[in-house]
A and B are shown apart, each in its own frame.
Chain A
């Protein structure tokens, strides 16, 4: 048995698999399949300062090897999260990451303050949501805006700060450097790629929001490439995500330079994916004579 545990910013994860924000709610539903300690951590559904209803349906469309979604950050608001959802989550013996999204810089800072006084382990700055009209990705697409918001939130945040990057940018490594320079403790990447599907009978986009964020196996090579580029550009740890659906993908993403991983879309296809990926990861490490999953990170030997 290899050691699957990883340590990020002094926080211990039972294993490197973290449920990705937006695919796992606040954990209640998936806890009906297995104990949540099966996962190294949970990145909770993106929360905002005030409750949000989200976008009208349809909010999802399928595409070859993936999906598009545009939920629009439906959530009960940060206070509800802290009072009603967090106490139960805290008891699940897994790392809890609060994913926050705001309309303004002030809202991000207010939420970071509230959550710094709560029992979450990390705050994940969601500056990459492509599905809301204001806020979200508008903060995440230039080095300057990423730097400004990271810097501001960091001053209101006593928890380790994870910045979740959008792939919808020209040079993600430069963006990551700006986040690191301005105080990010961890990078999580990649959020979804903006996409669109059209119903050819009606001429209407399938998703009511017209566009949606693409995820699933089809985006995996893009995510691996970006994680590799960012790993070469920053010193802080990277949590890699984007289309991981089997243990081989997990190995690949770790080799590209990730310290831990988030998985999301695969859960819709197979809720037991985390159990299977962890087992495959363990068997792979054993077969290679590796004692710890940390030995895999960044081991790619580029040509």
Chain B
């Protein structure tokens, strides 16, 4: 795999929900290489570390990156202006593996929803289950519909869509599903993996504090069990997407 970091032009920056920003960045070369579930390592002016952001959508010349302001780095990103130059190392990591002719269920929780959009576009008639804390954080519902997905909305407090968790919906619909792909908070992933265990295959996308983004510095450790042996692999290079049964959650 060849890596490259290049200058991108910010062509859209919009707050689409409270503290959640929708970026579209343009570059002639790198976006075309992106696969669903991969991420982009964004250089932030004045910061030592880059920020790993999941790829929400891609065309041959653009990447869409939807991120939540969590700290100083993402705050700086949220204030950047259309027309600004951004340096991005992308695409990175192993994404979701999508097979033809399978009924997929894509599940996103909170800021784990964005990577499921480009992923959902790779499958036929997928079921997408999205979960948010409350109404103010709901994102991307129309995008999923436009992509031809059946999208189900849940909120923890019932302020929008179904009052409940993504797992409630998953349990009800499990018998019509061939494979599950999920991204979101660890407790959610853990619950999903438990429901899928011995029934349907399940891929999950993880996050961890990251350094180099390419597997050299070994900081973004994830405890995995491969061939019966427990050890640390690295989210940036071995992940971010793993088979759920390989991960010690």
Cβ–Cβ contact B50 & A269, under 8 A: yes
Cβ–Cβ contact B3 & A29, under 8 A: yes
Name the distance in Å between A285's Cβ and chain B's nearest Cβ: 27
- For the complex, is A271 an interface residue (Cβ under 8 Å from B)? yes
Cβ–Cβ contact B216 & A269, under 8 A: no
Interface of A: prevailing SS: loop
Interface residues of B in 9-59 (CB under 8 A from A): 43, 47-50
Contact of B214 among A29, A65, A69, A74 (CB under 8 A): A29
Cβ–Cβ contact B219 & A69, under 8 A: yes
Since A22-B218, A71-B218, A271-B5 are in contact, a sample of 4 more A-B pairs with Cβ atoms closer than 8 Å, ordered by chain A residue number, is: A29-B3, A55-B221, A58-B219, A270-B43
- For the complex, is B116 an interface residue (Cβ under 8 Å from A)? no
Cβ–Cβ contact A71 & B49, under 8 A: no
- For the complex, is A57 an interface residue (Cβ under 8 Å from B)? yes
Q: Which residue of A lies closest to B47 (CB)?
A: A62
Cβ–Cβ contact A53 & B48, under 8 A: no
Name the distance in Å between A104's Cβ and chain B's nearest Cβ: 24
Give Cα A54–Cα B221 distance, bound, in whole angstroms.
Answer: 9
Cβ–Cβ contact B221 & A23, under 8 A: no
For chain A, the bracket of interface size reads 35 or more
Name the distance in Å between A205's Cβ and chain B's nearest Cβ: 13
Question: Can you identify 30 A-B contacts, CB atoms within 8 angstroms?
Answer: A22-B217, A23-B216, A23-B217, A24-B216, A24-B217, A25-B216, A25-B217, A25-B218, A29-B3, A29-B215, A32-B1, A32-B2, A32-B214, A33-B4, A53-B232, A57-B219, A58-B219, A59-B209, A59-B220, A59-B221, A62-B49, A216-B48, A267-B212, A268-B48, A268-B211, A269-B50, A270-B5, A270-B43, A271-B3, A271-B212
- For the complex, is B178 an interface residue (Cβ under 8 Å from A)? no
Contact of B209 among A54, A58, A63 (CB under 8 A): A58
Interface residues of A in 266-292 (CB under 8 A from B): 267-272
Give Cα A254–Cα B218 distance, bound, in whole angstroms.
Answer: 29
Cβ–Cβ contact A268 & B232, under 8 A: no
Name the distance in Å between A25's Cβ and chain B's nearest Cβ: 4
Name the distance in Å between B142's Cβ and chain A's nearest Cβ: 33
Contact of B43 among A25, A60, A269 (CB under 8 A): A269
Interface residues of B in 200-234 (CB under 8 A from A): 208-223, 231-232
Using Cβ atoms and an 8 Å threshold, which residues of chain B touch A191?
Answer: none
Name the distance in Å between B2's Cβ and chain A's nearest Cβ: 5
Using Cβ atoms and an 8 Å threshold, which residues of chain A touch B89?
Answer: 271
- For the complex, is A82 an interface residue (Cβ under 8 Å from B)? no
Shortest Cβ-Cβ A-B pairs, 8 listed: A25-B216, A60-B219, A59-B219, A29-B216, A29-B214, A32-B3, A57-B221, A58-B209
